[in-house]
Chains A and B, each alone.
Chain A
């Protein structure tokens, strides 16, 4: 447990919110599970030890909120195969390097000579293409809609001809449908991520709420934002109200960022595809529209994955329960590999790779802090 835990900007407000949660759960009088879908929410919950403030009957699950973790194995394979081609360089976010593919990660490919560049922005990948005009720069693009809008912006901005995009972008609203429909899932409400909703607006969740009759609360990333979001969510559950409530108005509006949405849907189309460990998610993947074929690495290159399929999948990977963890059915501590064979330096599953993966976060901060070892600072 991190010594900085449980330090709040306003400890009085935190205690008051924790008290409200306690009262609301007592009134409900049975266990309730809610889900958030954002790695940054889990980081804040774990970092500040918030689970120790939650009533015992309230379970707060991290859903599929880590874009790197849900990048599917064949998508990583595409990057690995492309990286092995002559004159091809892969530019991608640092989190992607260690994500296991069928036989190799991008880091493994790099170790055997592939040219892999870590970038923090798609604009940096475009700049790399300008600096290396005789090479092919493929931007392996991952992330949810928040990040996909930036990829869209560089695609419409006339990138050089040696720049292309391998899109593994994912779209959050459809996966919430999948989780809500899983028979094992008892999720009664969702905490939606503030910065993704900055782009989409809170209204995007209304059809979901209508269909599944579960409330959605859009919340920010401060410990107090999260506590307040949970109080709101549990109050809605208690009253049986299925609606969208935005408690993060300083970043999220009803309609969202329309300029960004315009570029997003001008460049990408939603299409069905697998999310690693979760399921096939209808409309969950963002792929380039045909008019951007000249920037689409899948159209520009022949990507033959079959060479990788000669290998049997590694034994340990079969024991990994990342999928169940992201679906909210099990916790990292339920996994035999967690903190044993599977650690950040040598991850078996994608959830241990990214700073936003549930397993990595629990490894770093601990999942459910033991209150007896924690000093609550005022």
Chain B
């Protein structure tokens, strides 16, 4: 639950960014991010909010763990937490609470 997930910002409207996570695009809120974010930046998403703009020189190193986890089976706990974090972004165009 405390494991954020990095993604690439592809579009920004006001305080909402469209972020690409390994091909899955989600809307992430920018209300509490630490630095100004622009298209092309990588951010760390936690429960639907960007909590950090990842410095450019750290992007590759940050992504490597997740790239391995994204290849993991559905039932792996750590990979499952990462997938939950991606689900925390709202789906584009139709933000919904899942029940």
- Give the tally of cross-chain contacts (CB within 8 A): 156
Instruction: Tell me the minimal C-beta distance from B67 to chain A in angstroms.
Output: 10
Interface bits A352-377 vs B (CB < 8 Å: 1, else 0): 00111000110011000000000000
B51 within 8 A of A: yes
Smallest CB gap from B75: residue in A: A364
**Which of these, A121, A198, A251, contacts B47 with CB under 8 Å?**
A121
A81 within 8 A of B: no
Q: Are B51 and A125 in contact (CB under 8 A)?
A: no
B77 within 8 A of A: yes
Q: A20-28, A88-96, A269-277: which lies at the B interface?
A: A88-96
Q: Are A123 and B52 in contact (CB under 8 A)?
A: no
Instruction: Tell me the minimal C-beta distance from A211 to chain B in angstroms.
Output: 24
**Which of these, A66, A137, A143, A260, contacts B32 with CB under 8 Å?**
A260
Q: Are A153 and B29 in contact (CB under 8 A)?
A: yes
The distance in angstroms between the C-alpha atoms of A123 and B15, with both chains bound, is 13
The distance in angstroms between the C-alpha atoms of A222 and B89, with both chains bound, is 24
Q: Are B95 and A354 in contact (CB under 8 A)?
A: no
Within 8 A of A (CB), among B41-99: 44, 46-49, 51-52, 54-55, 57-58, 61-62, 64-65, 68, 72, 76-78, 80-81, 84-85, 87-90, 95-99
**Chain A interface bracket (under 10, 10 to 19, 20 to 34, 35 or more):** 35 or more
A9 within 8 A of B: yes
Contact (A257, B89) CB under 8 Å given A9-B68, A40-B78: no
Contacts of A365 in B (CB 8 A): 77
Instruction: Tell me the minimal C-beta distance from A195 to chain B in angstroms.
Output: 5
Smallest CB gap from B67: residue in A: A9
Q: Are A364 and B97 in contact (CB under 8 A)?
A: no
B33 within 8 A of A: yes
B24 within 8 A of A: no
Smallest CB gap from B55: residue in A: A250
Smallest CB gap from A261: residue in B: B32
Q: Are B3 and A195 in contact (CB under 8 A)?
A: yes
B11 within 8 A of A: no
Interface bits A130-161 vs B (CB < 8 Å: 1, else 0): 01000001000001101101101100010000
Instruction: Tell me the minimal C-beta distance from A167 to chain B in angstroms.
Output: 14
A16 within 8 A of B: no
The distance in angstroms between the C-alpha atoms of A360 and B49, with both chains bound, is 27
Interface bits A205-236 vs B (CB < 8 Å: 1, else 0): 00000000000000011100000000000000
What 7 pairs across the A-B complex have the smallest Cβ distances? Answer: A121-B48, A128-B97, A250-B58, A120-B88, A257-B34, A117-B99, A121-B88
30 chain-A/chain-B pairs, Cβ below 8 angstroms: A9-B64, A9-B68, A40-B2, A47-B76, A47-B77, A67-B2, A95-B1, A116-B99, A117-B97, A122-B47, A123-B29, A125-B97, A137-B97, A146-B46, A146-B51, A147-B2, A150-B47, A150-B49, A157-B31, A195-B46, A198-B4, A198-B52, A250-B55, A251-B44, A257-B34, A258-B34, A259-B34, A263-B32, A355-B81, A364-B77
